[in-house]
Chains A and B, each alone.
Chain A
Amino acid sequence: MIPEKSEVKYPAAPIAATSPERLAVAARLRGLEPCPPERARVLELGCGGGGNLLPLAASWPACSCVGIDVDGSAIDEATQLARDLDLPNARFHQVDLRDARSVLGDERFDYVVAHGVYSWVSEPVRQSLLELCGAVLAEHGVLYLSHASYPGFHVQQVLRDMLRFHVAAPAGSLAAVQQARELIAALVAEPPAALVAPELLGRELLGLRDASDVRLTYDDLAETEGFWLEDVVKHAAEHGLAFLGDARSAAYADLLSARRFGRTLLCRAERRPAAPEPSRLLGLRVACPPFAPLPPEDATTWQLPGEGGAVVSVREPKLRAALVRLRAAWPQSLAVDELAGTVGNGAPNLSLLAALLQASEAGVVRLVLSGPACASGVSERPTASRYARACARLGRPIASQYHEQVPLPPPHRELLQLLDGERDQAQLRAELPARSGEEVSSMLQDLAHNALLIA
């Protein structure tokens, strides 16, 4: 279980895969009619300091966000920030999951997010979790449930066993992290022959070496129960829920994928979701950051790294041109219909739609419903959201308009705080005397690139 009192604080960061916009797209692709995120009711179980909910509340005034967590200080922090930013549509409650109904009453939610809960709580809490989700999920709602996932979790457990034995310091302490790093260093220094397979050495051991204190504390050193996806789905079925899809990939029950972390989407059992259908991309929008990979110009087949070492082969000659257009438009999105809507006779280019779907599953492009209100470039009075500015000021993790966490160095944070839309570029330069004009311009470009500037 995740330690309640920890010296390593869980960061209040956005979790891109849980964004209602992504969940809505996943549901749309499978033939459901999800609630538009901008006026949805969103519930997060285990919301911590509100880093995942507050950016939604800030972007969408008509969206109502409720977060619960047992950690009182995290809830206080979230509540305080909601008050400071004047976000009455974000409410936070300190309550045990098992008693959540006492604060939620009969409320229903269009999106329910339970990230890092299912595998990391005791069996009774796990039961309450799905019972609660079954009770509060709205008719067309989408539930996001993450869990440690077999078969990949077996491989992770090899190193978890070692850490569990070696680390004597109390869970959540910095000393525990220190002890873990000591063992990892000894293993990395001269990896035992049994660990040199890429799954163990490459993915797990070197992953541990580079892991943050947060990951070590809340993932590798925390008590964790692994589950097969099919068992999670069976468990959910007991509460009237059905498998909708994977938050990242459409592959279901791929026994060979060595994934160890499942991001499972569920809906009400009555909804009967279909397989993702490329034609359902029509009506959506798509975006592609310039830092995403681009297929080589002369290749007919593009090999994309999928999950768990799998390779996704995309055969679509028009995909490259589409991605080039998308990269140029970034951080704004383009309508899918505009990219692939018609080919001469007015029929949609289904093969390009299928390729875009694959590229989305491989994490190359982002499919969105309406797309965030990003500025197309750096305007005379560059503006960042009030929430992003507050996070920059408070040292909290920053969320992009795509609900992705953007790691920003201190000078960028300093600049971001000033982007209230009142100051023009000359004023910005004047307020940052330590930076040259060129530096400020380049930093503004970075912020635009990271989808932090709004129109």
Chain B
Amino acid sequence: MKELLGRAPAGRYAQRYADPARLWVQARLHGHEPPPLESARVLELGCGDGAHLLGIAARQPSMQVVGLDPRPAAIAEGKQLAERAGIANLRLEVAEPSALADLGPAFDYVLCEGVYSRASVAERPQLLACIAGALSERGLACLDYDVRPLSRLHELVADVLGRSLAHHGVERTPEAARRELARLLEASEGARGLELLRSELEWWRQRDDVWLRAELEAPRQGVLFDDLVRSLEPTGLSYVCEASYHAGSVEDLPEAAAALVGREASPLRREQYVDFFSGRRQRRSLLSRAAARQGAVNLDGLCCVSWLRAKGGELVAPGGSTFRIDDRLQAAVVLAACASWPEAPSVAELVQRAAAGTPGVELDDWQRAILRAHARDWLELRPAPPGCVGVPGKRPRISALARVEALSGRPLTNVVHTAIQLGGGVAGALASWLDGEHDRGALRARLLAEGYPPAQCTQAAIEQVLGALARRGLLLEEEAS
């Protein structure tokens, strides 16, 4: 079996929910005092090519960031990217099997993505013990894992596919898997009641080769949240909260379910029911050795940013889907955050702006509305303003890291640690040049010199790309010239 930390795909990208900045906010909202971000020591176990860590290190040069992975090629690639982007506070290392024992309790944030579900039942306690051992006293771990019961549908396909390939004596390659998935899909066509299996097979068939290979070599297996929480006991870790609420919370449950779950006194047991009724298949849980403080949630010092756009009474998500918010207060705070963008007002400031149109509401109610909107990802509470600009200036600038990513054809890490897929062509080329030195004329000249068709190099085309970069949180303040 391959070494545990090397079983997830090595090609990584920025994950907003596994960013220490996000973890810091979530832990605070749940009564913890997380270690300060400025001086934090961050560790990722199984970092692959380190692409998730690049943005974290680049944004906070005073942090010390370490990534461990057993694959030398992936580590070499990450090191090269870091060097090109001028990131000095990131140490990527090829993990020796003994590395996990020698970490020492020195890390404030320990990240572990895609590893737990690929660990065998015997390896799981070891992984948790290793995470616990590496955490500083108030440190936070972020563990990503598949959750049962619904992850069983994924396991079903992995099992059927694996058996099927073995049955036909075929090697477990992505190409063979894709052929086999197509065959199984075809065979399931006439059968009634196999919609679930068919949609799962179809979903698998659309995955890329890297993903398929990882699934075939180390199939993922979920764990019941309740069982995970129990398994934390010997490690001294306890559950804090989720990095993302995504699939829902007790408040969002249908009536019959809410009545049943409402009788549960234990918040952890309630949390388990949420998985049942929301159909959640994955969790990114925050774990800590420290206990939570009791008391009211303190939103002081947090700021609010929303990536939605208000358009004719509706809200437009970055992906283009539109929706309305029924709750009056939640709508008011989200609209105020949208109107403020790219500025990220403090909670107090946002309440003031929202209250201007909706007077006579208690501060507590506003804060509750902000928390609900944050839970639904309509706005995000952040430790500091993201520092992006909404309108491209004279000499637009994106981060050195994003320029390197654009040059390498990778997704770009934006100011809130989200991977933005640009596609190649003019957009990719422009992004790689935005160092704050090029004005529009220089950009256009360079595009033409590099042989891009003139029709794609018009002023309007360039403006459109720059506008999109701004909208996705990639453009930074320009140096005053």
Contacts and interface: CB of A to CB of B under 8 A. Distances in A.
Interface of A: 150-151, 154-155, 157-162, 165, 182-183, 185-187, 189-190, 192-195, 197-200, 202-203, 228, 230, 253, 255-256, 258, 305, 308-311
B289 to A, nearest CB: 26
Interface of B: 148-150, 152-153, 155-156, 159-160, 163-164, 167, 184, 187-188, 190-197, 199, 224, 226, 254-257, 259-260, 272, 276-279, 281
B273 to A, nearest CB: 8
Contacts of B272: 165
A158 B163 contact: no
A309 B256 contact: no
Contact of A200 (B187, B191, B196): B196
Given A154-B156, A190-B257, A200-B196, 9 more contacts: A154-B152, A157-B149, A198-B194, A198-B196, A199-B194, A199-B196, A203-B193, A308-B193, A309-B194
A165 B191 contact: no
A199 B279 contact: no
A255 B164 contact: yes
A151 B284 CA distance: 28
8 contacts: A155-B196, A161-B224, A189-B257, A192-B257, A194-B279, A199-B194, A253-B167, A255-B160
A280 B187 CA distance: 29
A189 B255 CA distance: 9
B192 A309 contact: yes
B254 A161 contact: no
Contact of B256 (A150, A162, A185, A203): A185
Contacts of A193: 279
B153 A190 contact: no
A182 B273 CA distance: 13
Nearest to B224: A161
Majority secondary structure of chain B interface residues (helix, strand, loop or mixed): helix
Contact of B194 (A161, A186, A256): A256
Contact of B196 (A157, A183, A190, A197): A197
B151 to A, nearest CB: 9
A258 B152 contact: no
Contacts of A228: 163
B270 to A, nearest CB: 12
Given A192-B277, A255-B184, A183 B260 contact: yes
Contacts of B164: 255
Contacts of B259: 186
B148 A161 contact: yes
A389 to B, nearest CB: 41
Given A195-B279, A199-B195, A190 B255 contact: yes
Contacts of B254: 189-190, 192
Given A151-B156, A199-B195, A199-B196, A194 B150 contact: yes
Contacts of B160: 151, 255-256
Given A195-B279, A256-B184, A186 B193 contact: no
B153 A154 contact: yes
A161 B152 contact: yes
Contact of A154 (B159, B167, B192, B226): B159
A13 to B, nearest CB: 27
Contact of B152 (A155, A185, A197): A155
A183 B273 CA distance: 10
A199 B148 CA distance: 17
A190 B156 CA distance: 25
B193 A190 contact: no
A155 B193 CA distance: 12
Nearest to A203: B193
A60 to B, nearest CB: 39
Contacts of A256: 160, 184, 187-188, 191, 194, 197
